[in-house]
């Protein structure tokens, strides 16, 4: 994929996900057809027995859910959008890096530029009271989305982004912060380092004004993990943690933190009721799941709260209810191996940890911006592995994570 096309897509993605996604899709199609990867078959041939069993279980559980789903085409669409599309993005970028047509550092920098733009909009939304609707080029299919949708709600108590709620804003900032810190600690000369320090500060402030408790916990977990990393990352993370203590003096922050430990708080009580309903659903669908993109069809029959919900506010519970227990166990195993294998890239490992902490209280995986960000994180982690060669003895899959 050309650097210009990838850069344009990743910079636009956080602010205009549909437009950025279409540009990225165009680049993926171009890359796939212009540079077909014959090594993919060899990758499958070189999988170990345990990897083949794991892949078989994933396919079997997905097929089982598909066959038992009330709306099988919805489930197929969910498989494509939630899993296959991010994996395709990751696969294409890995091969572009291995072929030498794209530098892995560009992926990180382009993604950070897009997240920085989103953080800037959030700051103006919160402090400058920016809001309004800008919708252009409505498409004639599905739910008739706009190609460019910069709708920004007024920030009454929490900052948001274009067609983006504060919780997901906080997550994207928390995912980007370790990557920005990596750029800040390794950049030369000092002028360039100062720019990335500014990015770190920008993402940090945007996470704060999102007032997302799950994003705060995610960022804190990432910072604590980086205390065990290289001396440069450790020092930078320590400075960041020390500077954040000043935020505890703000009454809004104190109030928000206090609600973390109050079970009777309205949002906490609502989450508990949603989780209880989710476990009731799990009793009926533990084997096959309901199928993807069908949660809202089943949830009203199990609902305990006085209002509905678009998801279960817990990624593990949501995936299990939708895809079944066996699929979830396989996915958890793969995720843990990914996290552990990222030890040589502490900024990537910190981002994975931030996602895991956030996912305990929300379900972010259906948002295109989050999906692309995770695909880039995965590509950054796996692109460091040597590309496969023609020698059967030396063939190693960059995607081999088991």
Q: Burial-class residue 329 by CB neighbours within 10 Å (0-12, 13-18, 19+).
A: middle
- Let me know if residue 138 belongs to a domain: yes
The whole-model pTM stands at 0.89
Would you give per-residue pLDDT tens digits along the chain (402 residues)?
678 888 889 999 898 888 888 888 888 888 777 766 545 555 555 566 777 777 777 888 888 888 888 888 989 989 988 998 898 888 888 888 877 777 888 889 999 999 999 999 999 888 888 777 777 777 777 667 778 877 787 777 888 888 888 999 999 999 999 999 999 998 888 888 999 999 999 999 999 999 999 999 999 999 999 999 989 999 999 988 888 887 777 788 888 887 776 666 668 888 999 999 999 999 999 988 999 999 999 999 999 988 888 899 999 999 999 999 999 999 999 999 999 999 889 999 999 999 999 999 999 998 999 999 999 999 999 886 544 444 333 334 333 444
Residue 15 φ/ψ, nearest 5 degrees: -95, -40
CB contact set of 204 (below 8 Å; sequence gap of 6+): 173, 177, 219, 240, 244
- Let me know if residue 353 belongs to a domain: no
Domain of residue 147 covers 1-32+84-163
The pLDDT assigned to 118 comes to: 94
- Let me know if residue 146 belongs to a domain: yes
CB 291, CB 72: distance < 8 Å: yes
d(CA 244, CA 280): 40
The pLDDT assigned to 291 comes to: 93
**Residue 282 corresponds to which tokens in the numbers above?**
């799990």
CB contact set of 360 (below 8 Å; sequence gap of 6+): 214, 314, 315, 316
d(CA 379, CA 61): 26
- Let me know if residue 100 belongs to a domain: yes
- Let me know if residue 287 belongs to a domain: no
d(CA 252, CA 82): 35
For 211, left (φ over 0), alpha (ψ -120 to 50), or beta?
Answer: left
User: How many helices (H) and strands (E) in the chain?
Assistant: 18, 2
CB 90, CB 379: distance < 8 Å: yes
- Let me know if residue 13 belongs to a domain: yes
The pLDDT assigned to 134 comes to: 77
The pLDDT assigned to 402 comes to: 41
CB 289, CB 323: distance < 8 Å: yes
d(CA 261, CA 101): 50
- Let me know if residue 343 belongs to a domain: no
* Structural element, H or E, at residue 248: none
CB 108, CB 182: distance < 8 Å: yes
DSSP conformational letter for 386? P
CB atoms within 10 A of CB 60: 13
d(CA 282, CA 319): 10
- Let me know if residue 62 belongs to a domain: no
Count: domains in the chain: 1
Q: Burial-class residue 171 by CB neighbours within 10 Å (0-12, 13-18, 19+).
A: buried
User: Which residues is 164 bridged to in the sheet?
Assistant: 161
The pLDDT assigned to 399 comes to: 39
């Amino acid at each position: 994929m050309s650097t210009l096309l990838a850069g344009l897509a990743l910079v636009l993605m956080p602010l205009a996900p549909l437009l950025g996604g279409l540009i990225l899709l165009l680049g993926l199609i171009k890359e796939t057809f212009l540079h077909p990867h014959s090594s993919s078959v060899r990758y499958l041939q070189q999988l170990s027995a345990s990897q083949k069993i794991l892949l078989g279980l994933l396919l079997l559980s997905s097929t089982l859910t598909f066959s038992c789903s009330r709306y099988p085409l919805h489930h197929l669409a969910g498989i494509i959008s939630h899993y296959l599309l991010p994996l395709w993005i990751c696969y294409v970028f890995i091969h572009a890096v291995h072929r030498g047509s794209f530098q892995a550092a560009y992926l990180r920098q382009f993604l950070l530029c897009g997240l920085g733009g989103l953080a800037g909009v959030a700051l103006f939304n919160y402090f400058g009271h920016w809001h309004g609707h800008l919708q252009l080029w409505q498409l004639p299919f599905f739910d008739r989305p706009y190609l460019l949708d910069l709708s920004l709600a007024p920030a009454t108590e929490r900052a948001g982004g274009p067609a983006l709620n504060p919780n997901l804003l906080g997550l994207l900032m928390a995912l980007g912060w370790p990557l920005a810190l990596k750029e800040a600690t390794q950049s030369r000369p000092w002028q360039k380092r100062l720019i990335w320090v500014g990015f770190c500060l920008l993402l940090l402030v945007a996470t704060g004004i999102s007032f997302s408790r799950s994003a705060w916990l995610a960022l804190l977990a990432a910072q604590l993990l980086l205390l065990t990393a290289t001396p440069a990352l450790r020092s930078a993370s320590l400075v960041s943690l020390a500077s954040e203590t000043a935020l505890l003096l703000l009454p809004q922050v104190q109030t928000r933190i206090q609600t973390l430990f109050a079970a009777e708080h309205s949002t906490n009580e609502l989450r508990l009721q949603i989780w209880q309903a989710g476990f009731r659903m799990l009793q009926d669908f533990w084997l096959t799941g309901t199928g993807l993109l069908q949660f809202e069809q089943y949830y009203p029959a199990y609902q305990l709260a006085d209002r509905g919900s678009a998801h279960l506010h817990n990624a593990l519970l949501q995936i299990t209810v939708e895809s079944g227990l066996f699929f979830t166990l396989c996915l958890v195993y793969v995720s843990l191996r990914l996290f552990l294998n990222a030890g040589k890239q502490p900024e990537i490992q910190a981002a994975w940890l931030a996602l895991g902490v956030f996912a305990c209280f929300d379900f972010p995986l259906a948002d295109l911006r989050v999906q692309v960000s995770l695909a880039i994180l995965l590509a950054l982690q796996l692109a460091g592995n040597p590309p496969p060669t023609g020698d059967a003895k030396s063939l190693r899959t960059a995607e081999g994570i088991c």
